[in-house]
Structure 1
């Protein structure tokens, strides 16, 4: 085992893979549910678009800061390294432990449950079957990342390209087949409602910083990571604004308010049931892409913490053949699976949001 700890990680993540990781980890399943959450907080056509614009701008500014820090500290660990170097080892330690027990493992579990629920619209499953499918997705993608960062990043890139292609198709269907719906009368927009909507919008943009966790496996990280952050975040901001405009184009605003699967409802209105059914496949692909990116990123933080003596030494073990932090990947997969089997989507997401805002607030 001690010999394993001396094996170095291998650099194989280029600009395309890093950008795919940024896009893939942001565009998970939130954009297919969060617009309705935003509209309920901000019951106004223009207010809703303003929330998404401000959310995108804040995300881009955050990515700009993260890009500068990634250039200054191009080490595996990302935000953990930034907090440790700029504040104290204790701050980095708290971030890393919160990642494992709540933030990253929790969001893996939550997105896996969304994946399984949409899979159940194609292959009917009981609640137990949905949980088993979610665990199966976690274990399969963890296994791919276990056997090498190159296969893991290749899967991430492929899923992200498929996801972007599917979203482009969705936009074409909505803008091409949609007719301007009669908007409902705008409700009152309050400061409290605006900030509630902003929190919901920012949650949909979460995950952009995860590419920094794999800095030591990135080719020329001082240049690659900042470029991937800037380009990837800009792509997502544009896609999110276009999707929200498309939703509002084809659905009456009161339908946007009440929808629990807005992408399905919008496509049904614009292009019919066959196209709407295909949205389930889109959400499945999107969810798998997000899970893959998070699985790839998280264990690199645990690896860095173990290397600094702030976590169990075995979490820093690198596989002698595959050159990946394999024990950290396994530990994350097991704990995420436990969360799937013992929790609900709502409780897991609430726990993730609460923990993240302790740091981001």
Structure 2
């Protein structure tokens, strides 16, 4: 019997994956992006509250889908079941070549750059540290989801504790300095700020990828999504309010390392240096969850016959999709080494909102399907999925209008997966038809000659049932 994935992720580990994946390094930089688009205290906090609410809307939709379809692959499975295998394939295609692997590379580079603030490193040294981070986390996840989720949980607890200390310090010494809002907020500016805020909340959906390694996934994953995203919203609001207590708004607008600048203003260089350690822990923890989750999608695609069958292999001892883990580590390291991750991610990452919008619309379709049952149901139906779908559309439209060439290039990279999908599908079908035809000819010949034995026929049937090394479906 082929080895299967191990169920060892509980509610604590799943919630830690949600929180740890969302809280990466962007919250220590992204507030400046938000403030430049909406330069007022009220506007900034409103953006973060709106981004948190929308993230929670999206998480509630994913929570319902994960309770209805608690299978490895998460979003890939949802898209495949609600729309078509081609739609699911495009998600996995974009994930491996750009979105998921590119985000791993980007966070790894943040990890390397902040390591260089502690130990002097040149550009090569930064890239080597980044690749080392990817390989270490991949090695941990190679040897088991249990150690992988344990590392994720430990890093999440450490980073949240450090952020709590940071918030207490800033609130303790800060005073309100930011001026009141100056005039109305333009819709376009607010939307631009909202996109920046939503980027800082990215990664909430990744816990769905490991459903078959989660205990009682129909209930555990929805609870983890709801608890984790709500917890992050509180953290982000507190942290952004704390920044504004100690830094004047003009400083916030120009800062590229806002947490570092806030601590410099209150505790001096020594305290500010501790921020580098916090960002290192946070980036490493964020990368840990992403490294853990991605291979599960590629494993599920291989199970469906949409990738090389080797990507669906499970390690006989560690019970992990080890080939998929290795493939992801190699490609992410290549993106770091060549420096191409930035150009790819910046063009493609917005397209995930097309898929998120599709999830919302698909949920509305599922609710009308006879016999549809889900242990968890998204609140506020149909308003919540409708609002979320409209916001996804607005984000995509804003990106296309703001930078049409880059946006269309990114969309083209994603859609390039369609001909690959149809060619692959045709190849798999042809292979199966040839094998089926060959099997029928052998059976006819055996029956005609009378030379076949029951044991030989049993062996042939066993090979056929196991797929004979062909991609599984």
Range of TM-score over shorter length: over 0.9
User: Hey, what's the Cα distance between the residues in 2 that align with 1:347 and 1:316?
Assistant: 30
Counterpart check, 1:51 vs 2:47: yes
In structure 2, the residue matched to 1:295 is 291
User: Hey, what's the Cα distance between the residues in 1 that align with 2:170 and 2:223?
Assistant: 31
Contact 2:40 2:178 in 1 (8 A): no
User: Hey, what's the Cα distance between the residues in 2 that align with 1:188 and 1:55?
Assistant: 19
SS in 2 for 1:219: coil
In structure 1, the residue matched to 2:278 is 282
Contact 1:115 1:287 in 2 (8 A): yes
The correspondence of residues 54-69 of structure 1 with structure 2, limited to 5 A, is 54-69=50-65
Counterpart check, 1:199 vs 2:195: yes
Aligned residue-pair number: 357
SS in 2 for 1:272: helix
Cα gap change, 1:104 to 1:301, in 2 (>3 Å): same
In structure 2, the residue matched to 1:226 is 222
In structure 2, the residue matched to 1:257 is 253
User: Hey, what's the Cα distance between the residues in 1 that align with 2:187 and 2:49?
Assistant: 16
User: Hey, what's the Cα distance between the residues in 1 that align with 2:350 and 2:55?
Assistant: 19
Stretches of structure 1 lacking an aligned partner (at least 5 in a row): none
Larger radius of gyration: 2
Cα gap change, 1:63 to 1:240, in 2 (>3 Å): same
The correspondence of residues 15-26 of structure 1 with structure 2, limited to 5 A, is 15-26=11-22
Q: 270-279 vs 164-173, which deviates more?
A: 270-279
In structure 2, the residue matched to 1:307 is 303
Flag as ranges the 4+ runs of structure 1 deviating above 3 A.
184-188
Measured after TM superposition, the shift of residue 303 of structure 1 is 0.5
Stretches of structure 2 lacking an aligned partner (at least 5 in a row): 357-391, 393-473
SS in 1 for 2:88: helix
TM-score (norm 1): 0.96
Considering Cα pairs closer than 8 Å and 6+ residues apart, tell me whether 1 or 2 has the greater RCO.
Answer: 1
The correspondence of residues 105-254 of structure 1 with structure 2, limited to 5 A, is 105-183=101-179, 186=182, 189-254=185-250
Deviations 1:304-331 (CA, angstroms, capped at 9, x unpaired): 1100111111100100110000000000
User: Hey, what's the Cα distance between the residues in 1 that align with 2:340 and 2:166?
Assistant: 29
User: Hey, what's the Cα distance between the residues in 1 that align with 2:177 and 2:269?
Assistant: 19
In structure 2, the residue matched to 1:95 is 91
User: Hey, what's the Cα distance between the residues in 2 that align with 1:345 and 1:173?
Assistant: 36
Contact 1:107 1:348 in 2 (8 A): no
In structure 2, the residue matched to 1:86 is 82
Deviations 1:214-243 (CA, angstroms, capped at 9, x unpaired): 000000101110010010101000000001
Measured after TM superposition, the shift of residue 178 of structure 1 is 1.6
